[in-house]
Structure 1
Amino acid sequence: MWPDRRLIDLFKTEFPIVLAPMAGVMDAELVIAAAQGGALGSLPCAMLSAEKAREQVGLIRQRVKAPVNMNFFCHTPVDLTPEAEARWKQRLAGYYREHGLDPAAPISAANRAPFDAAFCEVVEELKPDVVSFHFGLPEQELLKRVKAAGSLVISSATTVKEAVWLERHGADAVIAQGAEAGGHRGMFLTDKIAEQPGTFALVPQVADAVKVPVIAAGGIADGRGIAAAFALGASGVQIGSAYLRCPESKVSAAGRAALAEGRDDSTVITNVMTGRPARGVQNRLMREAGPISPDAPPFPHAATALGPLKAAAEKQGRVDFTNLWAGQAIALGRELPAAELTRDLAKSALARMKALAG
């Protein structure tokens, strides 16, 4: 019934829907529920230890006999200089005073590690059906090992040039991430945020430029969006924000309230939360220090000094310093169990495509 079955056949899923990996707000529970509904469940591993990743994949496989995707970052780490750290702490000093926090107290460093040999060993051990990457692809030797383990490889592109690069370097499918998408920009061949095309412009151009299946991402949260993605040449979609209000997500009560109030203009692209451009629900820090600030240290170091502020504000029921990543279709999210939401998304998309076909 789907007009393009390439992604379904590639991933061996019921529906051509990929649950977006959303580090920090989800774990195995949401992966399991989305997979039970027929989607490809994605486990975000960038903030997990190797041991925790093993545990999470084990839980998923105990509960559901479905393909699993392990997701990793593959950025090039940049050291935090004392000058950059001092500048950022000075920018946040007023907030520390307001919350009665000691800026000199030790803080745990933000944990967003790139894919490395140690995690490659975990992939070789667990043999996930799919391994997805953000910020390009890992070095060629590691990529060869991932493929030798039998895993399919996918990654995000924010431009046609990046999509062609990914195909040329071994990606089995490409995620076309439009500017509307929540979370970190997957850009790796450019840092020009203002030039990133939207999903409607990006998907057909990527579909024309590569032979591998294209997965549309950004602004897709209901059947209309899925049908539109297929009309533009996509073989499937990646959806994240629509799942944030599912009971299986780990979004805090304050975060859920912010999501429920979301509108089309509630999100912005900012670098003040982690040091790298990402789209999220606008909060106090983004309004007062950003959304783009030259004071923010490089990824992921900006998040380190925000840790104590985030914890203090959340205790008061506020998300002033919380990176609540979400896309521009935030208002279309619903409070449904993830399995039910997945089936409803597929059903409404097929109905819409059938109606359009006459």
Structure 2
Amino acid sequence: MSAGGHPTEIAILAYPRAQSAAIHGLTDLFVEASRISRRLAGDAKAPPALRVTHWRPSSDGSDLELSFDTHPGRPSRPAVVIAPPTLAGPPIPETIRPFARWMRERHDKGATLCSICGGTFVLAESGLLNNRAATTHWGYAEELARLYPEIHVDGDKLIVEDGDIISSGGIMSWTDVGLKLIDRFLGSAVMLATARFFLIDTAGREQRFYSTFSPKLDHGDEAVLKVQHWLQKEDGHQATLAAMALHAGLEERTFLRRFRKATGLNPTEYSQRLRIGKARELLELTNRTIDQVAWAVGYDDPGSFRKTFHKLIGLKPGDYRKRFSVTPSAS
């Protein structure tokens, strides 16, 4: 509840390509949290704690207009503005500028800004993320960094909370952002009760648990591409610098320079990601022991495999298997 007894307003932006399911899902989440807040307080007649509004482009496209309000008739002063996720790829900059400007104006008046998945592009267009850390869907992270180079993009994080600005990654991370806001405005008891009602897992997650390695293949360097195809067939096995340079037909120093320029990784990092990707498949789909998985993907030292897996994925191999295995008897 905001000062003066009025509900805390949460504004959700219906920008082009915004996911309707997330807009309505967030609305349901906040409405239910208000109801749970009243129930836990023992006062069914208490005024609502949260107000949800939706905003769309005005008829001339120059500003935004109110399109939905859970508690109409009151002046609008959002405490939070949310740019929800997208499904059809990142939004086109020209179509989101009115929304970005609106977010900046509300931020100037004290609103906390949140972005989810592709919604981070809307927030980025406002300029408010310059020289700050942010995340987006792991598949969009490279494009976000290219379009907005002044942002410190961390595609591994599910949520980056920086006081007045919160960004999140995957499409379904709107549930995480929603619960975080409920916790902030209504407290942990209401947040946990809301999570239980919607069957939302509140345990800490990271995007890298789910993201897959997507190597750059459109760089135009045929010698490097030849090595990449070879490594893919070998799953990173036998990936010594000498073997890769020989396969590319290049001197080692020249190959190393061109490989890093083309892929953004050195050959060792690249082959590690391929091998760990194969290890994930084996952990998900087989009952092989961790040591057997390590040996299968080319690690002579299972301890080294465990450290590398944890570093890249954020979970130990055994914990990853418990979370993602599709083989019931896996252990």
| Shorter-normalised TM range | under 0.3
Larger Rg: 2
Higher relative contact order (Cα pairs below 8 Å, separated by 6+ residues): 1
